Structure 1
Amino acid sequence: MENAMLWVKSFHIIFVISWFAGLFYLPRIFVNQAMASEAAEQTRLGLMARKLYRFMTPIAILALIFGLWNWSFYGFYLGQGWAWMHVKLTLVTALIAYHAWCGKIYRDFAAGKNTRSHLWYRVFNEVPVLILIAVVILVVVKPF
Structure 2
Amino acid sequence: MLWIKALHIIFVASWFAGLFYLPRLFVNHAMVSDAATIAQFKLMERKLYRFMTPLGVLALLFGSWLWLGYGYTGVWLHIKLALVGVLVAYHLYCGHLVKVFATDANVRSHVFYRWFNEVPVLILFAVVLLVVLKPEFA
Q: Is TM > 0.5 for Structure 1 vs Structure 2? A: yes
Q: How many residues align?
A: 136
Structure 1 CA distance, aligned partners of 2:106 and 2:135?
A: 40
CA RMSD of aligned residues (A): 0.7
Deviations 1:29-87 (A, max 9, x none): 00000001101000001100000000000000000000001111023x53xxx110000
Q: Aligned partners of 1:36 and 1:97: how far apart in 2? A: 27
TM-score by length of 1: 0.93
Give the share of equivalent positions with the same residue, in percent. 63
Q: Does 1:56 find its partner at 2:52?
A: yes
* Structure 1 consecutive aligned stretches of length 4 or more whose deviation exceeds 6 Å: none
Read off the aligned partner of 1:126 and give its amino acid letter: E
Q: Please name the residue that 1:32 is paired with.
A: 28
Q: Does 1:117 align with 2:113?
A: no
Q: How far, CA to CA, are the matches of 2:130 and 2:70 in structure 1?
A: 17
Equivalent residue number for residue 85 of structure 1: 77
Which of the residues 100, 108, 116 maps onto 1:108? 100
Distance (Å, rounded) in 1 between the aligned partners of 2:107 and 2:97:
10
CA offset digits 1:92-114 (Å, max 9, x no partner): 00000000000000000001110
Q: Secondary structure at the match of 1:37?
A: coil
Residue among 65, 70, 77 paired with 2:66: 70
| Matched residue type, 1:92 | V
Give the Cα–Cα distance (whole angstroms) in 1 for the partners of residues 75 and 24 of structure 2. Answer: 34
Q: What is the match of residue 99 of structure 1?
A: 91
Do structure 1's residue 43 and structure 2's residue 35 form an aligned pair? no
Give the partner amino acid of 1:60: G
Give the TM-score, by structure 2 length.
0.97
Which runs of 5 or more structure 1 residues have no equivalent in the other structure?
Answer: none
Q: Which runs of 5+ in 2 are unaligned?
A: none
